[in-house]
Amino acid sequence: MSRHSIAVIAGDGIGTEVVPAAITCLERIAQIHSLNLEFTHFDWGSDYYLRHGRMMPVDGIEQLANHDAIFLGAVGSPEVPDTESLWGLLIPIRREFQQYINLRPVKTLDGVASPLACKEPIDILIVRENNEGEYSEVGGRMYRGLPQESAVQETIFTRLGISRAARYAAGLAASRTGRLTSATKSNGIIHTMPFWDEVVDETVRDYPGVSVTHELVDALAAHLVLKPWTLDVIVASNLFGDILSDLGSSVTGSIGLAPSANLNPEGAYPSLFEPVHGSAPDIAGKGLANPVGQIWSGAMMLEHLGHPGAAAHLRAAFESALRDGHGTRDVGGTNSTSEFTAAVLTAIDAHAVEHAGAEAGSAAVGASTP
């Protein structure tokens, strides 16, 4: 029996609702596929901050380092400054564990209506650079409260950071259609973005079957809304990737559906799996949250841990629950979080025979989408 220790940080708001829902599904999948998933829960997040003045303990990173993967819900609370909730937990984890790829699939699912008039299927992989770029603590504030108050925020791009994101994205593109789109803004951002373009081009030259198109991020945002089905793999900086993936998931029906994997592709450190959505304080505690993004992130985690058959089984289950009309309110349905989770559990059992023992291979770590 394969054993994996998984650190769980449900975090804030709806994270505390969708994480237990997803773990129930993962436990059922583990039973069927003879996996031993050991979940260790950490009560870190905004409530912890209000009690201790920090989002996680001083030795939080060391505590997480002993696990095979990290399963995160959401961070963010109206009672805690956003800079604290993000820079006190998620960003240090991404950086300390060199999770330099944030893989964010964007895909239409049967049973979920897209707001777009044209119903062509969408199947995009967004590769977001996850360790540098616009997310930088370099800078500062001067003359607070005075008329000359000013703020400087430096954007940091390195050859290493750009090339490893481009290499990962090109590898994915090579295993799919060979089409890679790079998000740029080299007409306006005149130092970092031409550098980004050059390093992407140099890197992609090593992949003869891959052609890269540079699209200005504003035009690419419009492209995602007007003709998303013509896009395949997108590589983008930290900020551009974050914005494009929220937009992309909304185009497929709801940000509540969107999963993500924060990957250390070398496996030297644990990778982290989380839905793209945040803590959604407006609906927290009401049983309205859509657990698909969290469950799908769980499937990406299973795939990363070397269990593509179990991952495919879990994806098939939530897909079939959606197809059968069991949606939460954000996708036009009437299910509560627990009703939808019950429908996924039923579908897991219904698909057990066809998926049990089928550990079919996949092309890239965490890349497979339903």
Please give the residue ranges that form the binding site for ligand GGG (CB under 6 A). 72, 74-76, 86, 242, 274-275, 277-279
Q: Does the annotation mark 47 as catalytic?
A: no
Helix axis angle for 15-32 and 337-350, nearest 10°, is 10
Query: Is 55 or 174 the residue whose CB approaches ligand GGG more closely?
Result: 55
**Smallest separation (angstroms) from ligand GGG to the CB of 128:** 8
Query: Is 105 or 111 the residue whose CB approaches ligand GGG more closely?
Result: 105
Classify residue 148 as exposed, middle or buried by CB count within 10 Å of its CB (0-12, 13-18, 19+): exposed
Catalytic residue, candidates 110, 218, 282, 324: 218
* Helix, strand, or coil (residue 3): strand
Q: Does the annotation mark 218 as catalytic?
A: yes
Nearest residue to ligand GGG, scored by beta-carbon proximity:
74
Are 67 and 270 a contacting pair, CB within 8 Å? yes
Strands 271-275 and 259-263: antiparallel
**Smallest separation (angstroms) from ligand GGG to the CB of 286:** 18
**Smallest separation (angstroms) from ligand GGG to the CB of 274:** 4
Query: Is 136 or 230 the residue whose CB approaches ligand GGG more closely?
Result: 136
Q: Whose CA is closest to 334, among 288, 280, 284, 281?
A: 288
Catalytic residue, candidates 82, 119, 143, 324: 143
Q: Which residues contact 125 (CB under 8 A, 6 or more apart)?
A: 103, 104, 105, 106, 169, 172, 176, 232, 233, 234, 367, 369
Catalytic residue, candidates 47, 197, 232, 246: 246
| Side-chain half-sphere CA neighbours of 307 within 13 A | 27
d(CA 290, CA 115): 17
Q: Does the annotation mark 185 as catalytic?
A: yes
Catalytic residue, candidates 49, 107, 185, 207: 185
**Smallest separation (angstroms) from ligand GGG to the CB of 237:** 12
d(CA 181, CA 233): 6
d(CA 189, CA 330): 36
**Smallest separation (angstroms) from ligand GGG to the CB of 293:** 8
Query: Is 256 or 275 the residue whose CB approaches ligand GGG more closely?
Result: 275
Q: Does the annotation mark 324 as catalytic?
A: no
| Residue spans of alpha helices (H) in 175-264 | 192-204, 217-226, 238-251
Query: Is 279 or 335 the residue whose CB approaches ligand GGG more closely?
Result: 279
Query: Is 258 or 348 the residue whose CB approaches ligand GGG more closely?
Result: 258
Strands 123-129 and 69-74: unpaired
**Smallest separation (angstroms) from ligand GGG to the CB of 11:** 7
d(CA 55, CA 11): 9
Supply the residues annotated as catalytic: 143, 185, 218, 242, 246
